[in-house]
Amino acid sequence: MKVLKFGGKSLANGLGLEKTLEIIKHKKANEEDICVVVSARGNATDELIALLENARNGQWEEEDWINFKENQLKAIPQQQDILDTDFHNLKNFFAGVKLLKDYSLKTKDEVLSFGEVISAKTLVQVLINEGLSAKFVDARSFLITDDRFGNAIPKDEISEKNAQAAFEEFYSNGAIPVVTGFIGVTEEGETTTLGRNGSNYSAALVAKFINAEILENYTHVDGVFSVNPELVEDARHIENLSFQEANEMVNFGMNVLHDKTILPLIDKNIPLKILNTFKGIDQTGTLISNDKNNTSVKSLMLQENKSLVVFEGRGLLGKVGIDARFFSALHRAGVSAGIISQGSSERGMGVVVDEKDAPRALEALRKEFARDYDTKDVQSIHSIDGLSVISIIGQKMSHFNQSYNALIKNHVEPLLISNTVSGANVSIVISKEDTSKALNIIHGELFENPKQIHLAIIGHGTVGRALINQILNSTHDIVNRKNTHIKIFAISNSKNLILDKKGIGKDWETQLQTSAVPANIETLLKYAKENHLENLIAVDNTASSVFVENYELLAENGFDLVSSNKIFNTLPIDRYKNLRKVLEDKNKKYLYETNVGAGLPLIDTIKLLHLSGENITRVKGVFSGSLSYIFNNFSVREDAFSTIIKEAMDKGYTEPDPREDLSGNDVARKLLILARELDLVNEFSDINIQNLIPENLQSIAKDEFLSRLEELNTEYEQLKKSLPEDHVLRYVGELKGDLQKEKGQLEVKLVSVPKSASLGQVKGSDSIFEIYTESYGENPIVIMGAGAGAEVTARGVFGDILRVSENK
Ligand code: ASP
Ligand code: MG
């Protein structure tokens, strides 16, 4: 015999009932012996409770009652009269409650029992209408319980005997028994219920009593998942579970099952299958059985609406009996304690309770400890409400570190962590707002799902555009190689913003053009927060000083920062230090390898040398790709200086106004950034900069300047002629002085160097950096290569993004 249990949604009018019928018919067609246990149909139990409450409060609406009735009768339009007596009796109960303005738990159980009775009778009629033979079985004919109304405990032995006798009859006549779930009866004949969702328990008991081969529980979900699929997209369906595992999950809040359901099944080793009524005949579901091979199932369970009751008593150290008083008080208040925490300092205690119980718990505790309050042995008794408990089932404390780190990095700080003495479980208490984010993070860690990195990219000039395309083109490879999924969730320019937590695709430019969302940092932060996005990185590819203003705010809101924009690092030193402080406080990173020498690994090298205690004595180099091109060419070619500048402009090496490069400011900024890496506190104004533009051309309009470019020629021609033989011109930045002091000497200037020196050998638009250190002596570390260009810069930014991601 198979026991099939159908829940409220499976029996509701319409699709539910249709599917239930299909399943039963299919079983019968296969000549399977079945017994059906039912819940009340749809939300009947809730509706009955509401009607009861209204009757008591004098808010009875005849219309609600009629709706309830009609809804229940819809499935059997021709045979409505079979329920006449039940509705009549039910109505009488309500009339009594209206009169008395009150009801007992006993009355409540009587009233609720009609939900299941009506359901079973209806299903029997529906089956008969389909030509099947079925018989209504009132569980009260065999299921004896104690008299804890509302949560009665079955008496197994006698119930089993009764059941076996009752079921004898059905075996012989082949009718499908349709049994009322949820309800039982005391030895005195009073109706009881087994607690909300108790039909599952009833079904397990029936299965046990009649030695069923399996209990098939038809629900509206596909079975058990590693985590609630409504909260975590990547939730995994679990096909097999052992009884122990299922029991553990139930204990930690799995609500697919009633908490006592599994026990009767374990007694007789009857497997339980959880299936989805709406998925029809062919489905895997979840099989819970005695199979001990599955001992590695991991899952996350969630308990919501919890409070942490906090009891602080500094005068209690070493006193005996405080805990006993504490828990007795809770006991008297009828409050059940979940996670319990007490430090070895015994200065207080934290206990997790249901949020609705917290006020009662506080009242009871304050009363119990009133005297100790007066003597100041107890300082505070309060509660922190709005909490959730996430339990990681199947994880030992020793493996919890990864999940924990990931939580902290994403600003989710558990209020309490607890492991169980038996079994491998870790529970954390967190605030309600963090629940969904935390579930996603831990689930990702447990199942090694690709780590989700969420990027906001600001600016899409040449570097920004190249970066976005590089990322979109390599998303797939990075998932495969590094198990990291880099998603661009935001792109913004100075006007518009586009947002998509699923990841913005290749049509980003059109989207951005047509976006109606104005660029706004608050909108961006709000979106990330509301969508609980984890592992956030903001990437600044603008060259402006506007977006830079948001760096601290971003770090405070959980973003790491990557920037090709140099401006922040050259702001006054106080601001520079402030950001570093915020970053440190918030445990966030800020990488900007491309600030100097584009993609060349310069900043990282200098940082590491400095950190490792190597004494850097001097840094010198050609910092600017455009000036490199200009002087590499001018030094060896016959062409006029202006021709070469124009050529560099045409090739896109210079800024739109080449004076940005020729003024030396760009090189100076880079030099300052390097200096600050060495903990020097130089300001921009400390730098000696040789401006290559004659004063009279420095502040005229760009167009005029370009038309007067030739005015530069004579001076530079003369300079070239005056060079010693085999020397060339190079525009260099140099950091020197006693670099152990507060400030170094920073100089940016045009110099002549021998062709054979390393600076003299740079070609094209390459950059070169010589790093002199104490250990390396007179032979500097030389880093040379393409130091400019959108593609290489974007690669460098991408590298920074990956570096930050790795740390997540
Ligand atoms: N009808 C009852 C309830 O809603 C029992 C059940 O559905 O399992 O709680
Ligand atoms: Mg139900």
Give the model confidence (pLDDT) of 79-105 as tens digits: 999 999 999 999 999 999 999 999 999
The answer on 145 and 10 residing in a single domain is: yes
196 pocket-lining for ligand 1 (C-beta < 6 Å): yes
8 pocket-lining for ligand 1 (C-beta < 6 Å): yes
744 pocket-lining for ligand 1 (C-beta < 6 Å): no
202 pocket-lining for ligand 1 (C-beta < 6 Å): no
Which ligand is closest in space to the CA of residue 40?
1
The answer on 588 and 673 residing in a single domain is: no
The answer on 584 and 684 residing in a single domain is: no
- 331-to-326, 346, 371 alpha-carbon distances in Å: 9, 21, 20
pLDDT at 261: 85
- 262-to-46, 225, 248, 269, 301 alpha-carbon distances in Å: 25, 17, 10, 10, 17
Q: What's the whole-number average pLDDT of the chain?
A: 93
Instruction: Note the pLDDT tens digit of each residue in 652-688.
Output: 888 878 998 999 999 999 999 999 999 999 999 999 9
For residue 6, report the distance from its CA to the centre of ligand 2, in Å: 9
pLDDT at 59: 93
Could you tell me if residue 134 is left (phi over 0), alpha (psi between -120 and 50 degrees) or otherwise beta?
beta
In the predicted structure, residue 318 carries a pLDDT above the cut 80: no
In the predicted structure, residue 395 carries a pLDDT above the cut 80: no
6 pocket-lining for ligand 1 (C-beta < 6 Å): no
464 pocket-lining for ligand 1 (C-beta < 6 Å): no
For residue 257, report the distance from its CA to the centre of ligand 1, in Å: 11
Query: Where residue 667 sits, what CATH number does that domain have?
Result: 3.30.360.10
Does some domain include residue 799? no
Q: Which of 11, 37, 199, 205 for mutating ligand 1's site (highest number of atoms within 8 Å of CB)?
A: 199
* Atom of ligand 1 lying closest to residue 8 CA: 7
pLDDT at 316: 73
217 pocket-lining for ligand 1 (C-beta < 6 Å): no
% of residues, the chain, pLDDT over 90: 79
Q: Which of 196, 220, 260, 261 for mutating ligand 1's site (highest number of atoms within 8 Å of CB)?
A: 196
Query: Where residue 494 sits, what CATH number does that domain have?
Result: 3.40.50.720
The answer on 153 and 13 residing in a single domain is: yes
Does some domain include residue 792? no
Which ligand is closest in space to the CA of residue 112?
1
Which ligand is closest in space to the CA of residue 195?
1
Give the DSSP letter string of 478-518: HHHHHSEEEEEEEEE-SSBEEE-TT---TTHHHHHHH--SB
State whether residue 267 is helix, strand or coil. Answer: helix
Nearest to 185 by CA among 135, 149, 160: 149
pLDDT at 293: 59
For residue 40, report the distance from its CA to the centre of ligand 2, in Å: 7
Instruction: Note the pLDDT tens digit of each residue in 697-728.
Output: 999 999 999 999 999 999 999 999 999 999 99
Query: Where residue 203 sits, what CATH number does that domain have?
Result: 3.40.1160.10
For residue 8, report the distance from its CA to the centre of ligand 2, in Å: 5
Contact at 8 Å (CB) between 109 and 150? yes
Domain range holding 460? 449-595
For residue 79, report the distance from its CA to the centre of ligand 1, in Å: 25
Query: Where residue 369 sits, what CATH number does that domain have?
Result: 3.30.2130.10
The answer on 582 and 565 residing in a single domain is: yes
The average pLDDT across 120-138 equals 96
Structural domains of the chain, count: 4
Q: What's the rounded Cα separation, in Å, for the pair 86 and 120?
A: 12
More confident of the two residues 243 and 352: 352
More confident of the two residues 568 and 448: 568
Where does the pLDDT of residue 346 fall: very low under 50, low under 70, confident under 90, or very high at 90 and above? low
DSSP lists the bridge partners of residue 753 as 728
The answer on 615 and 543 residing in a single domain is: no
pLDDT at 716: 96
For residue 646, report the distance from its CA to the centre of ligand 2, in Å: 79
182 pocket-lining for ligand 1 (C-beta < 6 Å): yes
* Atom of ligand 1 lying closest to residue 116 CA: 1
Q: Which residues contact 241 (CB under 8 A, 6 or more apart)?
A: 224, 249, 286, 287, 288, 289, 294, 297
Give the DSSP letter string of 640-687: -HHHHHHHHHHTT-S-SSTHHHHTSHHHHHHHHHHHHHTT----GGG-
Does some domain include residue 90? yes
199 pocket-lining for ligand 1 (C-beta < 6 Å): yes
Q: Which of 59-73, 292-306, 575-589 has the lowest mean pLDDT?
A: 292-306
Which ligand is closest in space to the CA of residue 196?
1
Torsion 650-652-656-657 (CA) sign: negative
Tell me, rounded to whole angstroms, the distance of Cα 717 from its chain centroid.
64
For residue 183, report the distance from its CA to the centre of ligand 1, in Å: 10
Does some domain include residue 795? no
Instruction: Note the pLDDT tens digit of each residue in 607-618.
Output: 999 999 999 999
40 pocket-lining for ligand 1 (C-beta < 6 Å): yes
Which ligand is closest in space to the CA of residue 46?
1
Residue identifier of the C-alpha nearest atom 8 of ligand 1? 197
% of residues, the chain, pLDDT over 70: 99
For residue 97, report the distance from its CA to the centre of ligand 2, in Å: 24
For residue 355, report the distance from its CA to the centre of ligand 2, in Å: 23
The answer on 420 and 320 residing in a single domain is: yes
- 281-to-177, 220, 256, 299 alpha-carbon distances in Å: 21, 14, 20, 27
Where does the pLDDT of residue 789 fall: very low under 50, low under 70, confident under 90, or very high at 90 and above? confident
Instruction: Note the pLDDT tens digit of each residue in 357-382.
Output: 999 999 999 999 999 988 888 999 99
The answer on 35 and 111 residing in a single domain is: yes
> 31: burial class by Cβ within 10 Å (0-12, 13-18, 19+)?
exposed
For residue 91, report the distance from its CA to the centre of ligand 2, in Å: 22
For residue 151, report the distance from its CA to the centre of ligand 1, in Å: 12
- 643-to-409, 491, 646, 651 alpha-carbon distances in Å: 53, 38, 5, 12
Give the DSSP letter string of 53-107: HHHHHT---HHHHHHHHHHHHTT-GGGGGGGHHHHHHHHHHHHHHHHHT---HHH
* Atom of ligand 1 lying closest to residue 115 CA: 1
pLDDT at 345: 67
In the predicted structure, residue 302 carries a pLDDT above the cut 70: yes
624 pocket-lining for ligand 1 (C-beta < 6 Å): no
Does some domain include residue 729? yes
- DSSP class of residue 318? T
Does some domain include residue 807? no
198 pocket-lining for ligand 1 (C-beta < 6 Å): yes
> 585: burial class by Cβ within 10 Å (0-12, 13-18, 19+)?
exposed
For residue 198, report the distance from its CA to the centre of ligand 1, in Å: 6
- What's the CA dihedral at 150, 155, 161, 163 to 10 degrees? 20
The answer on 491 and 343 residing in a single domain is: no
Does some domain include residue 549? yes
223 pocket-lining for ligand 1 (C-beta < 6 Å): no
For residue 150, report the distance from its CA to the centre of ligand 2, in Å: 15
Backbone angles phi, psi at 443, to 5 degrees: -60, -45
Tell me, rounded to whole angstroms, the distance of Cα 636 from its chain centroid.
59
* Atom of ligand 1 lying closest to residue 200 CA: 8
3-state helix, strand, coil in the chain (%, to 5): 45, 20, 35
The average pLDDT across 324-337 equals 93
Which ligand is closest in space to the CA of residue 45?
1
State whether residue 520 is helix, strand or coil. Answer: coil
Q: Which residue among 445, 471, 500 closes a domain?
A: 445
pLDDT at 292: 64
Contact at 8 Å (CB) between 768 and 613? no
181 pocket-lining for ligand 1 (C-beta < 6 Å): yes
DSSP lists the bridge partners of residue 773 as 616
Residue given tokens 């920073």 in the structure block:
746
Backbone angles phi, psi at 772, to 5 degrees: -95, 130
The answer on 424 and 519 residing in a single domain is: no
Q: Which residue among 287, 322, 353 closes a domain?
A: 287
Q: Which of 197, 217, 261 for mutating ligand 1's site (highest number of atoms within 8 Å of CB)?
A: 197
In the predicted structure, residue 56 carries a pLDDT above the cut 60: yes
The average pLDDT across 576-595 equals 95
State whether residue 633 is helix, strand or coil. Answer: helix
Look up residue 401 and give its two tokens: 């570190």
More confident of the two residues 229 and 137: 137
Extract long-range pairs of 500-507: CB within 8 Å, 24+ residues apart: 501/454, 501/527, 501/531, 501/533, 503/475, 505/472, 506/472
The answer on 674 and 539 residing in a single domain is: no
For residue 42, report the distance from its CA to the centre of ligand 1, in Å: 10
In the predicted structure, residue 451 carries a pLDDT above the cut 90: no
Which ligand is closest in space to the CA of residue 257?
1
Does some domain include residue 806? no
Instruction: Note the pLDDT tens digit of each residue in 180-193.
Output: 999 999 999 999 99
Q: Which residues contact 613 (CB under 8 A, 6 or more apart)?
A: none
For residue 525, report the distance from its CA to the centre of ligand 1, in Å: 43
789 pocket-lining for ligand 1 (C-beta < 6 Å): no
Q: Which residue among 553, 571, 595 closes a domain?
A: 595
pLDDT at 396: 75
In the predicted structure, residue 398 carries a pLDDT above the cut 80: no
Residue identifier of the C-alpha nearest atom 5 of ligand 1? 197
The answer on 268 and 187 residing in a single domain is: yes
* Atom of ligand 1 lying closest to residue 196 CA: 9
119 pocket-lining for ligand 1 (C-beta < 6 Å): no
